[in-house]
Structure 1
């Protein structure tokens, strides 16, 4: 208790000093200085993250995938309509986001959490992810929230750090906020929407972790992608792991048009690169990808 209180007081002092020393373009780093250090290549690609001089995230070492097929498990209520055998296929790598860890008996090779509000309110689920041997992709802010509460020695997963791009802006870890050049070589652009071909230069979020996950999936070189629980409707209903009593707020209803357009851009990118994508949510508002029912899956696996 004393250590935690002392640590918080020290961090508040750091924030105060940081505010004096650095201009407003750097203010998003006030939580991190001087505890963190990063290593980048000459073009700014994020390679390593150090916390208190210890390497906690190494983006240079990507774990090779065992399969060419993957399933992204989102958290829409429709996930409960799929038979359990869908999540037990050895030819598929399973990729989870947010509360997907609540589904029993799924081995996740990759997991993604970028929402600091989720980390704050459902840390019980975050801890479950940290105890697995998955590769865990997260943002600097989420990483910091985790390391405030869990000793690094007690984390079993392999952490990768990504910087998200929102409304064309990226809060660069330990550097100033920048406007992202969408004509950069690592970005696929269509109708002013971006899809990152190299996630460690920056990853577009468009207000949903599922879009970030698709860019990570592309970086992992999967050629066949199945998406479960991508409903993008019925926002008044709890996610499959929630109840009406503990349902967390969402902004997806406000940003629906942007999100749906973003998925259209992802679909164009995947088609151009001969990557097949199937949506297992038959009533999903996302029309970008071919829909496949659970009964039809046997033709694919």
Structure 2
């Protein structure tokens, strides 16, 4: 039946709407005046959402952003003070050491392939889970709506918003140049300080996380696991047998490093300090200052 509806959608909608083909006709949404998705129904069932507007500047102070590079294995988290923590992808393996209050996953391949981790995330009632509508639909299909105990927040790639035409990379600057919340670099990399209108992608979930944490109001971001090297090695929670492919090495110099540099400049202008606790990270100190966590905590 899904293939049948997909074919109808393809014949009845221009190619620019193709990214919606797996949602129609199962997904119904309502947007607020700010552009965010505030109501969602999937397969005729209402899906409870936390509106992004309720979270704007809801936090302050410091936060721990936990990525998944191999260097995480070398960190003793018991010396860290208590603070909010945002995890991405497989970082939830640290749940016994880090009290995650926020979580972010936008990689649909990760949701499909690591259902064991997703199952643990969604049953955490104290967690706010940020993902796309595609991600929510996948999780409901795999586990059921009733199995989701965490609080869901729908976020979007600014170029591929639900039921809106895709914006090509060459048009992103033109389409968003007049938005006060969006800052473009000289080479037209975008950073959105108000993610209710969408988030700019830069080939890594960390770039989504920087825009999200800026929106939430944090002023000091500690990074762990942002190694951006040794891509042949398993992530800290993987072994060789279960290692998922990584394409970050192909994007590091062309997309990721310039985007991180832009994010650093934007966040500095917003008085947000970013401290990289991965001393072996390939991201230079001039972008995010590197500090040994033992010297801080």
TM over 0.5: yes
Q: Deviations over 1:125-161 (max 9, x none)?
A: 1111111121111112222211111211211111111
Shift of residue 217, structure 1, vs aligned partner: 0.5
Unaligned runs of 5+ in 2: none
Pairing 1:293–2:292 present: yes
Shift of residue 42, structure 1, vs aligned partner: 4.3
Please, which of 85, 94, 97 is the counterpart of residue 103 of structure 1? 94
Q: TM-score, normalised by structure 2?
A: 0.90
Please, which of 113, 134, 146 is the counterpart of residue 121 of structure 1? 113
1:195/1:215 contact within 8 Å kept = yes
Q: Secondary structure at the match of 1:85?
A: helix
Shift of residue 49, structure 1, vs aligned partner: 2.3
Shift of residue 57, structure 1, vs aligned partner: 2.6
1:47/1:58 contact within 8 Å kept = yes
Please, which of 274, 279, 282 is the counterpart of residue 282 of structure 1? 279
Please, which of 203, 209, 213 is the counterpart of residue 213 of structure 1? 209
Pairing 1:186–2:185 present: no
Counting only pairs closer than 5 Å after superposition, residues 12-51 of structure 1 correspond to structure 2 as 12-42=3-33, 44-51=35-42
Out of 274-283 and 146-155, give the one that drifted further: 146-155
Out of 137-146 and 177-186, give the one that drifted further: 177-186
Q: Secondary structure at the match of 1:277?
A: strand
Check 1:56–1:35 CA distance in 2 against 1; reply closer, same or farther (3 A cut): farther
Out of 54-63 and 285-294, give the one that drifted further: 54-63
Partner of 1:271: 268
Out of 32-41 and 45-54, give the one that drifted further: 45-54
- RMSD across aligned positions (CA): 1.8
Counting only pairs closer than 5 Å after superposition, residues 1-301 of structure 1 correspond to structure 2 as 10-42=1-33, 44-51=35-42, 52-59=44-51, 60-62=53-55, 65=58, 68-87=61-80, 89-90=81-82, 92-105=83-96, 106-132=98-124, 133-165=126-158, 170-178=159-167, 179-180=171-172, 181-183=175-177, 184-191=179-186, 192-257=188-253, 258-287=255-284, 288-298=287-297
Q: Secondary structure at the match of 1:254?
A: helix
1:36/1:53 contact within 8 Å kept = no
1:48/1:58 contact within 8 Å kept = no
Check 1:86–1:79 CA distance in 2 against 1; reply closer, same or farther (3 A cut): farther
Q: Secondary structure at the match of 1:269?
A: helix
Q: Deviations over 1:42-62 (max 9, x none)?
A: 463433322224133342432
Q: Larger RCO: Structure 1 or Structure 2 (Cα < 8 Å, ≥ 6 residues apart)?
A: 2
Q: Secondary structure at the match of 1:57?
A: coil
Q: TM-score, normalised by structure 1?
A: 0.89
Unaligned runs of 5+ in 1: 1-9
Q: Deviations over 1:235-270 (max 9, x none)?
A: 011100111111111110000011011111111011
